[in-house]
Structure 1
Amino acid sequence: MIRILLAEDDRVMREYLTRALERSGYAVSAVDRGTAAIPLLQAERFDLLLTDIVMPEMDGIELAQRASEIAPDMRVMFITGFAAVTLKAGKQMPQARILSKPFHLRDLVLEVDRLFEAENVGLN
C-alpha cells in the first residue's frame, strides 16, 4: 500500500484530503505543521510527502528539502493557493509536483494516482 505523509495546517482541509486519499486506497498519516512531520519521516517510510507550502514554524518547501535529505526516493507534491509561492517551489524543488488551490478532491487523487502510475509503468 502506498503511504502518504500529509502536512497541512488547515484542519478542515487536512481532514478532507485525508478522507479522499484513504477512500482511494492510500495509507495517510496527517500532521498540522512541517515540524511535526520530521519525526515521522525519521521513524517511518513514506512514498509521498503531500504538503501545503504556507504553514507556520516550517514552510512546505523547507519541509520538502529536509525530507529529501531523510528519504531521497520519496516523491513530493505541493499544494498551495499562492502563485508566487508556486514559482518559488518550482525553482527550489523542480522534481516536485504542484497542485494549486482551489482544486477538487478528485483532481488531487488523480494527480497522486498519476504520480505512482508513471512510476509503476517504468517498473514493468
Structure 2
Amino acid sequence: MTRILLAEDDQVMREYLTRALEKSGYAVVAVDRGTAALPLIEAERFDLLLSDIVMPEMDGIELAQRASEIAPDMRIMFITGFAAVTLKAGKQVPQARVLSKPFHLRDLVLEVDRLFEMEQVPSRN
C-alpha cells in the first residue's frame, strides 16, 4: 500500500485530506507541522510527502529539502494557497508537484494517482 506523510497545520484541512486519501486506498500518516514530520521520515518509509508550504516552525519547502536528503526516492507534492510561495517552491524544490488551493478533493486524489501511475508504466526502451 502506498504510504503518504501529510504535513498540514490546519486541523480541519488535515482531517479532510486524510479521509479523502484513505478512501482512495492510500495509507496516510498526518502531522501538524514539519518538525513533527522529520523524525517520521527518518524512522519509516513513505512514498509521498504531501505538505502545506506555509506552516509554523518549519515551512514545507525546508521540510521537503531536508526530507529529500533523508529519503531521496520519496516523491514530494505541495499544497498552498499563495501564488508567490508556489514560485519559490518551484525554484527551490524543482522535482515537486504543486497543487494550488482551493482545489477539489477529486483533483488532489487524481494528482496523487498520477504520481504513482508514472512508475507503473513499463519503459519502451
**Is the aligned partner of 1:35 residue 2:35?**
yes
Q: CA RMSD in A?
A: 1.1
Q: TM-score, normalised by structure 2?
A: 0.97
Aligned partner of 1:24: which letter?
Answer: S
Q: What's the counterpart of residue 16 of structure 2?
A: 16
2:56 paired with 1:56: yes
Where in structure 1 are there 5+ consecutive unaligned residues? none
Task: Give the CA deviation at 1:122.
Answer: 4.0
**After superposition, what is the alpha-carbon deviation per residue over 1:3-29, rounded to whole angstroms, capped at 9, x for unaligned?**
000000000000000000000000000
Once the two structures are superposed, the pairs formed by residues 75-94 of structure 1 within 5 Å of their partners are: 75-94=75-94
Q: Which residue of 1 aligns with 2:99?
A: 99
Tell me by how many angstroms 1:76 deviates: 0.1
For 2:97 and 2:116, locate their aligned partners in 1 and report how far apart those are by CA, in whole Å: 12
Amino acid paired to 1:104: H
C-alpha separation in 2, matches of 1:119 and 1:79:
22
Distance across 2 between alignment mates of 1:17 and 1:8: 9
CA 1:90–1:122 in structure 2 vs 1: closer, same or farther (change >3 Å)?
Answer: farther
What secondary structure, in the 3-state scheme, does the structure 2 residue paired with 1:46 have?
A: coil
Note the C-alpha offset of 1:56: 0.1
The TM-score with structure 1 as length reference comes to 0.98
Q: Which amino acid aligns with 1:9?
A: D
> Using a 3 Å threshold, how does the CA distance of structure 1 residues 5 and 120 change in structure 2: closer, same or farther?
same
Q: How many residues align?
A: 124
In the alignment, which residue of structure 1 is the partner of 2:4?
4
Identity across matched positions, percent:
87
Matched position secondary structure for 1:78 = strand
Distance 2:116 2:29 in 1: 18
Compared with structure 1, are the counterparts of its residues 75 and 122 closer, same or farther at alpha carbon in structure 2 (3 Å cutoff)?
farther
Q: What is the match of residue 117 of structure 1?
A: 117
Moved over 3 A (4+): none
For residues 113 and 48 of structure 2, what CA distance do their matches in structure 1 show? 11
Letter of the 2:86 partner, please give it.
Answer: T
